[in-house]
Amino acid sequence: MKKNAPIRRGKPSRGHPPVAQERAVDVRLGRIVRLLMEHATVVVSGTKIAREISSNRSEVWRLIQQLRGLGVDVAGHPATGYQLKSVPDLLLPDILVPLLRGTIFDAHLHHFYKIGSTNTAAMAAAAAGIAEGSVFLAEEQTAGRGRGSNSWESARSAGIYCSVVLRPPLPPSEVLVLALAAGLAVRAAIAQVDSRVNTDLKWPNDVLIEGKKVCGILTEMNSEATQVRYVVVGIGINVNQANFPKELEGEAISLRLATGSEWSRVQLTAALLKSLDREYRNLLENPDAHDSILRRFQERSSSVRGRSVHVDENGGFEGVTEGLDSRGFLQVRTVQGVRRVLSGPVRPK
Ligand code: BTN
């Protein structure tokens, strides 16, 4: 594992779209949660739920057990019926849509209990013409992808795994600035939920706490030479992980580990999408946004200036960071002069 690649483990397996059977389970779980939420104050019989999902009571029991495994607090058993004990912290469209009204993300939310990769699904859907503002959210990814050829640890219901489809009327050269804006949006969302958390941005797309990675962003696009067709911004945030696999220890951190308390993924996802909506609209509508994003990114990153780094690119080179250029690329002063970093990774020397 590369030293500067927290949260990335080995080569990812390819992100397959969810098989039809898994998707069908997803839909059934969603329907049960919705039904229980609609009848939050009463016990709902297994028979009623079975009828609702066109199944039988033993299948309902199996699905209820699965929901419990996902952290949904359901009381009861087949003989008594079922009742939700608290609103689940699941990233369900029914819960999120009302919190996202007025943003470009309030119309097409797709939730998966399990998926290969939300980015892979979003890229495929974008290629097939899905609307701008479509959001793909998963409780768990089995083939979460990071930058380069890395994977993304995506434990069930512990993090936020979110990909959004954008269709900006911009040249491809502007997508780096959009990616930097996504980092600013994550930072603002975390600060909005808990202003005491100190985050640091690492070029191009990491959000760090205490030098460890709390969020990674994978921005992918399809474009013509001068015009973007679509962009998928995939955001992974470590929220409630109590620990990480051994190889990520010392490199990764969750908001829970940083603050000592559980976070609401629903609240943070809503804050994130609202903040991303603001940054995106600003970039499209405000002629000063490009410069403002570069300035704010540099103000909020302790490593874009004056840091001795090694860049794993073009055979590798070393130097001292010297801020971002006008297009958003990191500049590094080397013995041969200033070099522009195209993608990195960049790690402290
Ligand atoms: C990185 O730092 O290497 C980027 C990690 C991006 C992870 C997110 S999780 C949601 C989306 N789906 C993926 O497969 N990857 C991104």
pLDDT tens digits, 76-97: 999 999 999 987 889 988 889 9
Answer yes or no: is the C-beta of 81 below 6 A from any ligand 1 atom.
no
| Ligand 1 center from residue 118 Cα (angstroms) | 8
Residue 16 scores a pLDDT above 70:
no
Q: Which residue has the tokens 């015009």?
A: 227
Answer yes or no: is the C-beta of 152 below 6 A from any ligand 1 atom.
yes
Give the whole-angstrom CA distance, residue 45 versus residue 34.
Answer: 14
Task: Let me know: does 183 contact 39? Beta carbons within 8 Å.
Answer: no
Identify which of 67-81, 316-330, 331-345 has the greatest average pLDDT: 316-330
So what's the pLDDT on residue 19? Answer: 58
Answer yes or no: is the C-beta of 117 below 6 A from any ligand 1 atom.
yes
Give the global pTM.
0.88
Task: Let me know: does 279 contact 181? Beta carbons within 8 Å.
Answer: yes
Give the whole-angstrom CA distance, residue 194 versus residue 191.
Answer: 5
pLDDT grade, residue 2 (50/70/90)? Answer: very low
Answer yes or no: is the C-beta of 240 below 6 A from any ligand 1 atom.
no
* Apex 151 CA angle, 2 and 96, nearest 5: 130
Residue 190 scores a pLDDT above 80:
yes
So what's the pLDDT on residue 25? Answer: 80
Residue 5 scores a pLDDT above 60:
no
Cα first-last separation, the chain: 17
| Ligand 1 center from residue 166 Cα (angstroms) | 16
So what's the pLDDT on residue 149? Answer: 86
